[in-house]
Structures are given as C-alpha cells and as structure tokens.
C-alpha cells in the first residue's frame, strides 16, 4: 500500500539516446558520436538501485515458478502415459481359458487315393452322331426310361434351329410370366432355379479346389435340367399366339429329329453316368477280392489319365453306364501299414477332405498284408450317386486310435517326448495347481493323458483344465 501524499514511484527505464550522440556527464547535454544506437544506464541513486534489484528478483521468481509448473506438468503427463501403457498391456495380456477334461479319441490317419468299384452296365450307340442326354448325371433311372438320343451329324442345322427356338420360347415365357400370365409357371421356374443353383454351387466348390474333372457332368446336368423345365412348361397356357406358334414349330423339328435319330432306352434300373473310363467291364465288386496291388495302381493310373469325351459318338461306341449294384467298394493301397489295423468285417469311417464329407460305417471286406504295405477294401451303400461320375477318390483312413482323457496339446507344459511326462494346470479348490501326467498318445491337436499315482491330485473327467497355462501362475486364485 502506498502511503498518503507519498509520490508515485515509477520504474526506472534505461535512458535511450539518439543515434550518433552520447551523454555528457558535466551538463547532461548530448554530443555527436559515431556508431549504432546504444542503451546507457544512468547513474542511479541508492533508493532507485534497491527498486531495480527488487524488480529483478521478482522476475527471477516468476521464471522459477514457470519452470516448476512446467516440470510438474511434464511429470503429470508422463504418469498418465505410464498408466495408459499399463492398462493397454493388461488388456492385451491373454486371459485364462478353461475347459472340463473329457474322454475322447486321438486318431492317426493316412492319406491315399482309392479306386471306386461298382457293378456297371455299358450302353453303346446304335448309330453315329451327336449324343443328347435326356437324364441328369448321377440320377436314378428306371427300366424302359429314355436316357439319351443319338442325332445324326447331318442334322446339325436342325439342332441349331431347335436351340434358337427353345431360347426364343424361354425369353417369351419369362416376358409373359413377368406380366402376370401363365399361372403356375413361376413355381416351375423357382423349382428349376433351385436345382440349377445346387449344380452351380458344386461347380464353384470344384473350382476352389482347382478340380475340373467333373465339368462335363455338370454341363450335362445343366442342359437336362433346362430341358426338363421346358417339358414341364409345355402344358402351361400363357394365352399368347406367339408362343403357341413357336411351340408348334419346335414340335415339328423334334419329331423330325426323333424319326432320324436313335433313342437309348435303359434296360435296367440304376444310377446313370455319362463319364466313361474303360474300366466298366474290367472290374466288378466280385473282383475286389482278387485284385493285386499292381493291378490296383494300374487301374488308378488309367482312370487318372483318361481324357474328357465330347458329344460326338460313332456307332457301337460306349456312351453311358448304369450302376446296377446297391453297394460300391473303395480299395486303397496303404504303404508301411499293418493289416492288423484293419480287421475284416469291422466298420470304419472314411473321410473325403476335398468334398468335405465323411462316409460312415464302411465295412472292411478285405485286409491283406504285403511286403511294403496293406491292401484294404471298404464296402458301403452310401454316396453312390455322389461318386457316380468318378473312378477314384482321395480319402483319409484311420490306421490307429487311442481313447482316454483328452486334452489340447497347447495345455501341456514341459512335455518330454521321450518319457511322455508333461504338466497340466488345473483348478483345485479355487486355486491353480500344476500337476504331472503321462502322455500315452497324441496328434497335432490333442493328447491322451493318464494320471500319475504319486501325484497329490489325480485328474479325472470334469476336472477343470487351464487351456493356456502361460496366462496364470501356480497358486493363483481363480475368481468366479
């Protein structure tokens, strides 16, 4: 506080002089000098000097306070950063996963290519020409059913004209159907589209696996499905003169082609296939009991190297086959495998990885040991239609299996492959406990374990297992 009547004290500023002059100490006058502008501190009185020192102390105190404040701010930011890093690390740390120990089986498999053997009848062409299927690949046909036509090659112009007529009819039917005509046509189209979609999905699945061996059969199935749709749409009245005229023209062409072509009629019921490999009359289910390993490998080689056939056939050429047996046999040559693993008249599942299917309960009808392996034959009544256009199949066969307490391989600690000893982390009384067990069998994913009697705790079914033991410490409390 300033006292009353006390003069106001203003801070003393350095005196500035004009350029080229300096202060004269005797009379306060300036005199010309050379050089730049300079700041000259006047001579201060003692009271004025103390005020300047006080102002300088205040400035130094402000600078010191700013430095302290900035240091505290930096430390606070570092503390927040450390807390955030710890929180992120705790979140990324794997959380313990638990499971109940259950009884299971560990299987050892071997991959092999198998030969599909069926009882088949081959039908030949009565005349040369273009083969036109009337039934889909892999479908079941009845005795007396028309399954294919042989159209002479000199009728190619009529065939092209017929194909154009059919396309015109289809386009006009879709146009009329979208305008509300032809009751029931929509249901027929939807039914056919569902069947076509299933075939298209099979084609996509094969393309993903880079397998184009069945493209010919798929093409035939698509053509037959479209022909069947046209047949079902014949009785539908669209009430349109244009479509009636197109149908009449098509009927005359079909009649002309039918008179000049040979019709193949099925003589016995069975499963139809247009994919031939030349082995139809060489092998049968009965021959599966006598085939040697060399003959098996030769048949597989011939089937693998077979070429795709076109639709042009000559007289007496084989054109299709019908599977007459209710069963099929799949034979395998299993190298370095003991025949004792495949007991005759027992049942085993066959896994087909490429198709993503499993053929269950295949009966072993032959298990014969040779010098370098085993010849095994499996009989089944399933999936005959699925493999009707194939002669070989890539399968996985179980050669050995072990059943017991099954745990994931990742749950084992300190596993000794020679002695079979390992450790597992379990939860006992709310606390984690590491115990030793013995591994009696394992594969890449699971292990079969048995307890060690000298351990304090014996694992059993429904014991809580820590699947990732590295995420917890022994003796750690496991909260609910």
Residues 477 and 431: beta-carbon distance below 8 Å: yes
CA pair distance 383, 402, nearest whole angstrom: 28
pLDDT score, position 306? 46
CA pair distance 241, 237, nearest whole angstrom: 10
pLDDT score, position 20? 47
CATH of 98-104+404-471, one of 2.40.160, 1.10.260, 3.90.25, 2.40.420: 2.40.420
Q: Is 206 exposed, middle or buried (0-12, 13-18, 19+ CB in 10 A)?
A: middle
The closest alpha carbon to 276, from 318, 222, 326, 219, belongs to 318
Residues 144 and 258: beta-carbon distance below 8 Å: no
SS3 sequence of the chain: CCCCCCCCCCCCCCEECCCCEEECCCCCCEEECCCCCCEECCCCCHHHHHHHHHHHHHHHHHHHHHHHHHHHHHHHHHHHHHHHHHHHHHHHCCCCCEEECEEEEEEEEEEEEEEEECCEEEEECCCCEEEEECCCCCCEECCCCEEEEEECHHHHHHHHHHHHHHHHHHHHHHHHHHCCCCCCHHHHHHHHHHHHHHHHHHHHHHHHCCCCCCHHHHHHHHHHHHHHHHHHHCCCCCCCHHHHHHHHHHHHHHHHHHHHCEEEECCCCEEEECCCCCCCCCCCCHHHHCCCHHHHHHHHHHHHCCCCCCCEECCCCEEEEEECCCCEEEEEEEECCCHHHCCCCCEEEEEECCCCEEEEEEEEEEEEECCCEEEEEEEECCCCCCCCCCCEEEEEEEEEEEEEEEEEHHHCECCCCCCCEEEEEEEECCEEEEEEEEEEEECCCEEEEEECCCCCCCCCCCCEEECCHHHCCCCCECCC
pLDDT tens string for the chain (480 positions)? 455 555 555 555 555 555 444 444 545 444 554 444 444 555 555 666 677 788 888 888 888 888 888 889 888 899 888 888 877 766 666 788 899 999 999 999 999 999 999 999 999 888 888 888 888 888 888 988 888 888 887 777 887 888 888 888 888 888 888 887 777 788 888 888 888 888 888 788 777 777 776 676 677 677 777 777 877 777 777 778 888 888 888 888 877 776 556 788 888 899 999 888 889 888 999 999 999 999 999 999 887 544 455 678 888 889 999 998 899 999 999 998 989 889 999 999 999 988 888 999 999 999 999 988 999 999 999 999 889 888 999 999 998 889 999 999 999 999 998 889 999 999 988 899 999 999 999 988 999 999 998 888 899 999 999 999 988 888 888 765
pLDDT score, position 258? 67
pLDDT score, position 126? 83
pLDDT score, position 42? 56
Spell out the domain ranges in the chain.
1-93, 98-104+404-471, 108-114+287-403, 126-280
pLDDT score, position 94? 75
Q: How many CB atoms lie within 10 A of CB 106?
A: 19
Instruction: Write the CATH number of the domain with boundaries 108-114+287-403.
Output: 2.40.30
Q: How many CB atoms lie within 10 A of CB 314?
A: 12
CA pair distance 394, 115, nearest whole angstrom: 9
Residues 457 and 426: beta-carbon distance below 8 Å: yes
The Cα-based distances of 31 to 19, 20, 21, 24, 56 in angstroms read 10, 8, 5, 7, 32
401 token code pair: 């299996």
Q: How many CB atoms lie within 10 A of CB 219?
A: 16
Token pair 């000049």 in the structure block, residue: 260
- Indicate if 108-114+287-403 has the same CATH topology as 98-104+404-471: no
Compute the half-sphere exposure of residue 97: CA atoms within 13 Å on the CB side of its CA: 8
């Amino acid at each position: 506080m300033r006292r009353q009547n006390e003069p106001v004290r203003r801070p003393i500023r350095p005196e500035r002089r004009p350029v080229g002059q300096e202060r004269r100490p005797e009379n306060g006058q300036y005199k010309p000098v050379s050089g730049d502008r300079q700041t000259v501190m006047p001579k201060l009185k003692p009271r004025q000097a103390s005020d300047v020192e006080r102002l300088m102390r205040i400035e130094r105190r402000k600078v010191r306070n700013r430095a302290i404040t900035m240091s505290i701010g930096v430390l606070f930011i570092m503390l927040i950063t450390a807390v955030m890093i710890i929180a992120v690390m705790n979140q990324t740390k794997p959380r313990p996963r638990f499971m109940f120990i259950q009884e299971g089986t560990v299987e050892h498999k071997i991959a092999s290519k198998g030969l599909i053997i069926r009882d088949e009848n081959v039908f030949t062409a009565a005349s040369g020409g273009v083969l036109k299927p009337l039934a889909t690949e892999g479908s079941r046909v009845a005795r007396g059913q028309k399954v294919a036509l042989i159209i002479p090659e000199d009728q190619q112009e009529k065939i092209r004209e017929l194909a154009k007529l059919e396309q015109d009819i289809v386009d006009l039917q879709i146009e009329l159907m979208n305008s509300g005509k032809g009751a029931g046509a929509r249901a027929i189209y939807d039914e056919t589209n569902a069947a076509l979609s299933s075939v298209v999905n099979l084609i996509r699945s094969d393309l993903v696996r880079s397998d184009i061996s069945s493209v010919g059969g798929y093409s035939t199935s698509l053509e037959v499905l479209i022909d069947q749709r046209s047949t079902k749409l014949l009785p539908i009245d669209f009430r349109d003169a244009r479509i009636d005229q197109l149908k009449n023209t098509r009927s005359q062409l079909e009649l002309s082609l039918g008179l000049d072509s040979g019709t193949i009629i099925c003589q016995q019921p069975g499963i139809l296939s247009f994919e031939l490999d030349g082995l139809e009359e060489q092998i049968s289910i009965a021959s599966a009991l006598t085939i040697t390993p060399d003959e098996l490998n030769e048949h597989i080689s011939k089937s693998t190297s077979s070429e795709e056939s076109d639709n042009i056939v000559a007289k007496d050429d084989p054109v299709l086959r019908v599977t007459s047996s209710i069963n099929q046999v799949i034979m395998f040559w299993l190298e370095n495998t003991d025949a004792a693993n495949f007991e005759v008249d027992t049942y085993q599942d066959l896994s087909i990885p490429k198709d993503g299917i499993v053929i269950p309960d295949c009966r072993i009808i032959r298990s014969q040991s040779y010098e370098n392996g085993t010849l095994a034959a499996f009989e089944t009544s399933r999936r005959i239609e699925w493999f009707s256009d194939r002669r070989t199949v890539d399968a996985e066969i179980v050669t050995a299996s072990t059943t017991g307490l099954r745990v994931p391989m990742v749950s084992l600690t300190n596993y000794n492959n020679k002695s079979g000893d390992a450790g597992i982390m379990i939860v006992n009384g709310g606390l984690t406990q590491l115990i030793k067990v013995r591994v009696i069998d394992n594969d890449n994913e699971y292990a079969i374990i048995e307890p060690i009697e000298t351990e304090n705790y014996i694992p059993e079914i429904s014991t809580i297992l820590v699947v990732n033991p590295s995420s917890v410490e022994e003796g750690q409390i496991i909260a609910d």
